[in-house]
Structure 1
């Protein structure tokens, strides 16, 4: 340190100071201003990016809220559609049951009417057959009875005795 003080020269100090100040001025003009401008621009860009990110975040929140609303509305609409489909299904089933019941009753009534008409036809046919058989039997009996003259007289007498005159 002593040696520095002994070798100290005012002229050299002056020129060194002048060069240092010139270097500072040059650095200020060509280096610090652009560096500071770049730093300021970068800081401004970061602020803008943060603001954009914040607005994007808010927009995302709004979109999520809208999506939740749409999802809720879709769920409600789906539930309404399912309920309507169930009601329609139940209505269709009830209508089909009613129609089937009506058709079954109609078929039963037709079957009963057919049975009744068949029964009456069978009874009429049976009566006709019984009548024919009765006539045939009576004819054979009468032929056998009337084939003999004595039997004919007895039959006429018995009928006359049974018949009462008023």
Structure 2
């Protein structure tokens, strides 16, 4: 027998064994192997889809974060602007109030000064009047102490009365 020469019987039995092996493999091995491959393929596809969804969600979250950050910046700027306006208004109000108080104090001081001036002038007038009366009394006493001087004074006064 020659090992290299094919014989029909051997070929026939090898073909039958090969077909039986393929049928057994198809019935028992291919379905579980294909099922496992299909399951693995589905899980890989699900993982890829999940990764794509996660990527899209991250992009959406990033866009939302940018939007929120921009809104926060706008709100911060508005709050700062409002705070500056309130500060400026408070400073202006305080300045106006201080000016008003200063004007009031100055007006009170001027009134007080005027009142004190008037009181001082009245006091001076009273003192001048008292002093004048005292001087006049002394002059008149001296004038009236002498009889000749009294007559002369009466004559001068009568001359003044007739002249007026």
Contiguous gaps of at least 5 residues in structure 1: none
Shift of 1:45: 1.0
Instruction: Give distance in 2, aligned partners of 1:120 and 1:137.
Output: 25
Q: Structure 1 stretches (4+) deviating beyond 6 angstroms?
A: 8-17
Measured in 2, the distance between the counterparts of 1:128 and 1:60 equals 99
Q: Which one is further off, 132-141 or 29-38? A: 29-38
Deviation at 1:61, TM superposition (A): 0.7
Aligned position for 2:45? 47
Residue in structure 2 matched with residue 117 of structure 1 by the alignment: 115
What's the RMSD between the two structures over aligned residues?
2.8
Alignment partner, residue 145 of structure 1: 143
Post-superposition shift, 1:158? 4.1
> What TM-score does the superposition give when structure 1 sets the normalisation length?
0.79
Kindly indicate whether structure 1 or structure 2 has the higher relative contact order, using CA contacts under 8 Å at least 6 residues apart. Answer: 2
Equivalents in 2 of 1:115, 1:4: separation in Å? Answer: 150
